[in-house]
Amino acid sequence: MPAAAAYPDKPITIVVPFAAGGPTDKVARDFAEAMRKPLGGATLVVENVGGAGGTLGAGKVAKAAPDGYTLLLFHVGMATTPTMYRKLNYKVLDDFEFLGMINDVPMTLLGRKTLPADTYPDFLKWLQANKGKINLANAGQGSASHLCGLMFQAAVQIDMTTVPYKGTAPAMNDLLGGQVDIMCDQTTNTTGQIAAGSVKAYAVSTTKRVNTPVLAKLPTLDELGLKGFNVSIWHGLYAPKGTPADVLAKVNAALREALKDPEFIKRQEGLGAVVVTDGRLNPAEHKKFVAAEIDKWGAVIKAAGQYAD
């Protein structure tokens, strides 16, 4: 009997390579909910395997049984870590099946609430005045927050002390507590904090403003003078290499259905994310896109000389 005939007949685990409560986790939990119906009422469980910029979780899925019951939901880290990590125990393009992209999410540049700068120009002055003392939180080397922070430091030519966490949920806690000064994070995690006024928000990382009630007022870094600054974080779904083709086809069909779910779309849009509707829903296109992103971000990482062991 082909494997897909019965699939799924037990719970599916979606590994999120970051801590619970952060932006990748939030996307995964909403996505898991949207996948339930297209997968015939299946149970989808999110497992958080944070650490080392997402590479621990990705490595776990690369080595998991290729049966469709362990999937990975990961972001741009799929494209940054192959260049950044000298020792990665998996190969992104060889060790995974590509199942389609889910969304594109802008980032926001945040400061702790007690930071004495309400506008970006004042923020820049504060950065200049506090050179050598600034702490920048991130989710480890190769994470989205690391990438955005790296590009921001290069653009303003100020080095900061990076403080790595297992995800931006714990990093956000420390930003709220004032233990760290600044952070870049996806709007899926920052919209609520910005709306509540519990952090200072200076800009968005994409070249276009983000058209939500909470975020529309934020200028882009590009319009603030960092010409061409553009970091947009995509999320995609992956299975271990060797997962049967009929199972992959079933998951891809469910993903396409899930992304049409009006509740899912509404939630994502409210948080500034754009649900994918283009060719990247197609596994071959998804893989091609990630390969191009590996080249694109690889060049940025090499130029910055940022490597991890």
Burial per residue of 205-220, b for 16 or more beta-carbon CB atoms within 10 angstroms, e otherwise = bbbebbebebbeebeb
Tell the smallest beta-carbon distance from residue 9 to ligand ASP (Å): 30
Instruction: Count CB-CB contacts under 10 A for residue 284.
Output: 10
With beta carbons less than 8 A apart as the criterion, state whether 14 and 47 touch: yes
Taking phi over 0 as left and psi of -120 to 50 as alpha, with beta for the rest, 84 belongs to: alpha
In this complex, which beta carbon is closest to ligand ASP, that of residue 27 or of residue 255?
A: 27
- 30 binding ligand ASP? (CB under 6 A): no
Identify the helix (H) or strand (E) that includes residue 201.
strand 199-204
Looking at this protein, which amino acid is placed at residue 252? N
Interaction residues for ligand ASP, span 179-238 (CB under 6 A) = 185-186
- Contact flag: residue 24 with ligand ASP (CB under 6 A): yes
Selected binder of ligand ASP within 70, 80, 145, 162 (CB under 6 A): 145
CB of 50 to ligand ASP, least distance (A): 7
Report in angstroms how near the CB of residue 26 gets to ligand ASP at its nearest: 8
Distance CA 103, CA 232 (A): 10
Is residue 81 a contact point for ligand ASP (CB under 6 A)? no
CB of 54 to ligand ASP, least distance (A): 7
Residue from 32, 79, 109, 139 touching ligand ASP (CB under 6 A): that is 139
Residue with tokens 């590996």: 294
Residue 18 near ligand ASP by CB under 6 A: yes
Mark residues 155-174: x for contact with ligand ASP by CB under 6 A, - for none. ------------xxx-----
Cβ neighbours of 122 (radius 10 Å): 14
> Cβ 172 to ligand ASP, closest distance in Å?
9
Name, in order, each residue with C-beta under 8 angstroms of 173's C-beta and a sequence gap of 6 or more.
Answer: none
For ligand ASP, the binding residues (CB under 6 A) are: 18-19, 22-25, 138-139, 143-145, 167-169, 185-186
